[in-house]
Amino acid sequence: MPYQTLGSRAANGAADTTGQNPGNWTVQFAPKDLAVTVTEFEVYKIVVTKAAQTATFDVFVDSKQWDTSVYATNNSWDPSQPLIVRYGETIYFFYSTAASDGKMPHVTIWLRHEVSLSQVFGL
């Protein structure tokens, strides 16, 4: 199926405010950060950098875990099954390291959507 890029988004970590990762780094892509108007889209590429050498992270969509990674310092993710996100959902990267360690993680994600879905939904 033909895809249309929705570009990339980047965010830095902050001390967790969700209550799901207390005291640790959390990188969040809220709907306002994603700025996507299509009903459904894919995260087809992720690059994580700058976290502590010992960091791991879990990827969540709202309260549902999607994936986990054991190497969060400098890594990329190009899944054979991309992360499907629906309009209004938030993507979280919950890091295993304390927000006080001074190693603020940075995450870049690339988004796309299937053009045929736009035609079906009249977008």
User: In tens digits, what is the pLDDT along the chain, a chain of 123 residues?
Assistant: 689 999 999 999 999 999 999 999 999 999 999 999 999 999 999 999 999 999 999 999 999 999 999 899 899 987 788 999 999 999 999 999 999 999 999 999 999 999 876 544 444
What is the Cα–Cα distance from 34 to 89, expressed in whole angstroms? 9
33's tokens: 């950060």
Its CATH class, for the domain covering 3-115, is: mainly beta
Residue 46's Cβ-count burial label (10 Å; 0-12, 13-18, 19+) is buried
Torsion of CA 64, 57, 25, 96, to 10 degrees: 110
pLDDT digits (tens, 9 = 90+) for 67-85: 999 899 899 987 788 999 9
pTM, to two decimals:
0.91
What is the Cα–Cα distance from 29 to 119, expressed in whole angstroms? 26
SS3 content of the chain, % helix, strand, coil (to 5): 10, 50, 35
